[in-house]
Amino acid sequence: MALDNGAKPEAMHDATPISKAPRNQVLLVLRLVAFFATAAATVIMALNKQTKTMVVATIGSTPITATLTAKFQHTPAFVYFVIVNGMASLHNLIMIIVEIWGDKFDYKGLRLVMIAILDMMTVSLASGGDGAATFMAELGKNGNSHARWNKICDKFGTFCDHGGGAIISSFVGLLLLVIITTLSIGRLVKPRPATLSLV
C-alpha cells in the first residue's frame, strides 16, 4: 500500500482500538449473562428444600406418619454443585471488573493470559459440578432397580423441579463460559502487523 501526501505510518494503526471495542463489549455481555445464570443456579439449589409428612407404616388400622425433609445438603453432589456455581459467579463478577478497569494493571499482556487460564479452570469446575448434579437428579427421578435405589421425585416433586431448574440454569452458564473461554484464548493470538509498501 502506498503512502501518499506524507501520511505518517502511525496513523494506520488508529483503527486497532476500534476493532477491539466490540469484542470487549461482547465479552462483557457474555460474562454478565453467565454471572446471572450461575448465580441463579447457586441460589435456587442452595434454597432448595421440601418437607413432607408421609405414612411410613400401618399398625392395625392406625397409620404411622413421619415428617421427612429433602435438602441439597443431603447429597454431596448437590453441595459441590452449589460451591462450583458460586465460584463461577464470583469469577465472572471479578472478570467483569478486570475487563473494565484492568488495563491500568496490565503487564506485558499477562492479564490476558491469567484471564484465559482462570476461565479454563472455571469451565472445568463448572462442568464437573453440572455432571455430578445431573447424575444425582437422574437417580432421584428414575431410581436404580439394579442397586435397589428408590426414586424420590414422586414424593418430593417440588424439590426435584427446583433442582432441575437450577441444573438447566447452570448448563446455560456453562455454555456461555465455554464461549467466553474460547474468546479469551483468541485474544492471546496477536494479529500479524500490516506490511507497508513504499511503491
Instruction: Return the domain boundaries, the chain.
Output: 36-186
Residue 52 backbone dihedrals phi, psi, to 5 degrees:
-145, 140
- Identify the DSSP state of 144: B
pLDDT in tens, 105-154: 555 667 778 888 999 999 999 999 999 999 999 988 888 888 778 888 88
**Bridge partners for 149 per DSSP:** 144
Q: Cβ contacts of residue 45 below 8 Å, gap of 6+?
A: 72, 78, 81, 82, 85, 133, 162, 163, 166
| Cell numbers that stand for 135 in this block | 447424575
| Cell numbers that stand for 1 in this block | 500500500
Q: What pTM did the predictor assign?
A: 0.77
CB 180 within 8 A of CB 31: yes
**Bridge partners for 50 per DSSP:** 70
